Every structure is written in C-alpha cells, then in structure tokens.
Amino acid sequence: MRYTNFTSYDLVLLLQGLGVTVGLFLLTSAIGVVLGIIWAVIRFYRVPVLAKIVHFFAELIKNSPVLVQLFLVFFGFPGLLKIRLTPIEAATITLSASTAAFVYVIIVAAIESVGRDQLEAARVFGMSRWQILRHIVYAQAAAFSIGPLVSLMVNQLQVTSLISVIGVMDLAKIGANLNLRTLQPFIVWTAVGVLYYSTAKLVASIGARIETRLRAHSQFRGI
C-alpha cells in the first residue's frame, strides 16, 4: 500500500462515514424502541407463553456481547440456514435487537414503578386495559424512563462502531482505512473521536430537552 498525506477529501470521507453511522443508529434505535415497547406491553399483560419467550430472548441478548451477536448474525446463521445477508442487513438486525432488549428492561422497570393502587383504582372506575395503559401507565412510565433511554441511545451510538468489523463503511471503518493509508493514528483517531463525541453530545442534548418537557408535563398533571 502506498502511504500518502491527508487530503481535503479525507474530511468528506469521514463525514460520509459519520452519515452511515448516524443513519444506522437512527434506524436501529427506532426499530429497537418499537420492539422493546411491544415486548414490555406483552410482559405487562402477561400474555401466556409469549411473555416468557420475550423475557428469555431479551435476557439472552442483554447478557451477551454485541460483537458475538454480530458475528452470529453475519457469519453463523447465514451459514446454518443457507441464506445471504449484507453487512448493512446484519448490522441492522443485530443493533435493533440489542436496543430492543435494553429498551424492554427500561420500560418494564418504568411500568413497575407505577403504583399498583392506581391501577386497582382505575379498574374500580371501569377503565379498560387500553385506557389504563394509555392514561395511567404511559404518562408516568414515559417520565420515569426517558433518562435511562437517553443514556441507552448514547451508548448504542458508540456500539455502532463495532459494525466496522464486518465491512460496513461507517465512521470507524473509514477511520481505520485512513489510518492505514496515512500512518497518522493520533490525528485520525482524534478526529474520529471528536465526531463521535459531538454526535453523542447532540443526542444527549436532545434527550435532555425531551426529558425536561416530559417531567414538566408530568408535574403539571400531578404525576
């Protein structure tokens, strides 16, 4: 390989890698949050058999390394099932499942924080399960869970760097390529780190604003 100095186009490459990282982060976070909430609702309603399956699956994902999951999804299952997955597809499946497992735990904890006396009172007044979930559980659980969810999102943004090992041209992979070409690891990885840090701070800032509004709304409603 021919070693060269930095060029102005290297910044474009880093920004393109950042775009891939942010795009996958947003996609997998959206899928993971929806799945995690669905799993938590299944647990809340204690759906026979399905609730136990969901809990087992979430615990399995939550307590195993994301990198191992990534290798299983990209190398293991395709070889076993005779199917083909692109690096992007494997990354999407793995990161979505990982996010869903932790969202499930957070939402379940938030739901369980709602006083049982409130639920019993709602049932006495004739509220349906859907009305209880919407008007009693949701309002309080949202306020309790937003802080942990924001922390989770920041962590998941950092976890996306693992997908570079299967060939996804994200920010970490672009950084690795630039490092090999320029042999300037301090400059390259400092630039990559700054981009990750700036993006994480943006996510945390947006999350903090949402949390402030939710808590103010909850206090207004007397929650």
Question: For the chain, what are the domain ranges?
Answer: 9-220
- Whole-angstrom Cα distance, residue 170 to residue 177? 11
User: What is the tens place of the pLDDT at every residue in 21-52?
Assistant: 999 999 999 999 999 999 998 987 788 889 99
Length of the chain: 223
- Whole-angstrom Cα distance, residue 166 to residue 177? 14
DSSP 74: I
Q: Between these two residues, 6 and 78, which has the higher pLDDT value?
A: 78
- Whole-angstrom Cα distance, residue 104 to residue 39? 6
User: What is the tens place of the pLDDT at every residue in 122-144?
Assistant: 666 667 666 766 666 676 777 67
Tell me: pLDDT of 223 over 70: no
- 192 near 14, Cβ under 8 Å? yes
Decide if domain 9-220 falls under CATH 1.10.3720.10.
yes
Task: Please compute the mean of the pLDDT values over residues 198-216 and round it to a whole number.
Answer: 84
Tell me: pLDDT of 220 over 50: no
Q: Is 81 exposed, middle or buried (0-12, 13-18, 19+ CB in 10 A)?
A: exposed
Q: Supply the Cα-derived Rg of the chain in whole angstroms.
A: 21
Q: How confident is the model at residue 146 (pLDDT cuts 50, 70, 90)?
A: confident
User: What is the tens place of the pLDDT at every residue in 161-188?
Assistant: 999 999 999 999 999 999 988 889 999 9
Q: What is the average pLDDT value for the chain, to the nearest integer?
A: 86
